[in-house]
Structure 1
Amino acid sequence: MDLTPDDLAGVVDLFGALTRAECGQACAELAFKRGEDDDVDAFGSLVDEALASYHLVSVADHDAGVDDPLLVVGPTAFPTLPDGATDLPHIMSVPEREVSSETVAEAAEARFREDAVLAVRADDDERIADLLDVSYDLEAWGSVDLASARDRLDDA
């Protein structure tokens, strides 16, 4: 099943937040509804891609009543609903969740700073350029200041 990171963000947005397992279950349900294969490995790769591109943000420290980290819509996402997604809240027994925007912004900022350090250490020009773009989206989306991290990326 071909889903984009924006499609995945749309699915997550239906619930407010999903665990990684719930997100996989949602993708499997979509595949079933469409009569397509539910390739679990592909779903995992798509989640990894969406996290790396900041379409999704993983929040480990939250008050949502589950122990697992939650996936929430990130700063680069333009959530879209894939065909059949509107039925997911009726199919899955997952409550709507809300994670505070401050908590999500803090998680995204921490992840960004880690990614920036790794990109600079690896001298990965492509990743550095991607992160510079993300930094502006992240600042506009959450109440974070990434000027110092952006300066380090610019200097790399």
Structure 2
Amino acid sequence: MRVSEDELAGVVELFGGLTRDELYEALSELAYREGEELDGADAGETLDSAISSYHLVEYESDAAEKPLLVAGPRAFPEQPPHSEDLPHIMDVEPRDVDREALGEAVRETLDDEATAALAGGDTDRMRELVDVSYDLEAWAPVDCTGIRNRLDARL
């Protein structure tokens, strides 16, 4: 079973956030309902891509022992088939996320990635991160002007 980055965001959004293990459990349940098996390697690649592209973001929360994956600023969450059953199947309570704290954490990650892209001269990544900075400002109460100015100065 293959899922898109936006479908991953849709699954985690059902709960407010999921740990990696919980997300894999949810994907396994969805695959089972489709009569398929979850390809762990493929799901892992999609998950890594979703995090890199800011469709999902990792969030350290006091409510969970492990970091939560949350729908990110570039996501357009979609519900994959049978996902409406997941809250009834999985033993996971809905989670609330502090949007301000999450936004600040994502802004810090964006700043680190901008620094790395600038140091490596990766103009494609710099352009992508400029776009992410606008999406992030619309998604959470943060200001990314400084990050964007640093990137724009090199583009």
TM range, smaller chain = over 0.9
Q: Is the 8 A contact 2:7 2:77 kept in 1?
A: yes
In structure 1, how many angstroms separate the alpha carbons of the residues matched to 2:81 and 2:109?
31
The residue correspondences of 1:113-152 to structure 2 (distance < 5 A) are 113-152=111-150
Question: Which of the numbers 72, 75, 80 marks the counterpart of 1:74?
Answer: 72
Instruction: Give the 3-state SS of the residue equivalent to 2:14 in structure 1.
Output: helix
Q: Is the 8 A contact 2:2 2:42 kept in 1?
A: no
Structure 1 runs, 4 residues or longer, greater than 3 Å off? none
Question: What is the CA deviation profile of residues 97-148 of structure 1, one whole-angstrom value per residue up to 9, with x for unaligned ones?
Answer: 1111112101211111111111111111111111111110101111111111
Q: 1:49 Cα deviation (Å)?
A: 0.9
Which amino acid in 2 is paired with 1:135?
Answer: S
**Where does residue 47 of structure 1 map in the other structure?**
47
Instruction: Give the 3-state SS of the residue equivalent to 2:70 in structure 1.
Output: strand
In structure 1, how many angstroms separate the alpha carbons of the residues matched to 2:101 and 2:57?
11
Q: Is the 8 A contact 1:63 1:99 kept in 2?
A: no
**Where does residue 8 of structure 1 map in the other structure?**
8
Q: Is the 8 A contact 2:13 2:71 kept in 1?
A: yes
In structure 1, how many angstroms separate the alpha carbons of the residues matched to 2:114 and 2:42?
26
* Counterpart check, 1:32 vs 2:35: no
Question: What is the CA deviation profile of residues 68-114 of structure 1, one whole-angstrom value per residue up to 9, with x for unaligned ones?
Answer: 00011111111110001111111111111111111210121111111
**Where does residue 62 of structure 2 map in the other structure?**
63
TM-score, normalised relative to structure 2: 0.95
5+ long unaligned stretches in structure 1: none
**Matched pairs, number:** 154
Instruction: Give the 3-state SS of the residue equivalent to 1:57 in structure 2.
Output: strand
Q: Is the 8 A contact 1:59 1:107 kept in 2?
A: yes
Q: Is the 8 A contact 1:54 1:77 kept in 2?
A: yes
State the identity as a percent: 47
Question: What is the CA deviation profile of residues 45-77 of structure 1, one whole-angstrom value per residue up to 9, with x for unaligned ones?
Answer: 1111111111111012x221x210001111111
In structure 2, how many angstroms separate the alpha carbons of the residues matched to 1:34 and 1:17?
23
In structure 1, how many angstroms separate the alpha carbons of the residues matched to 2:108 and 2:42?
27
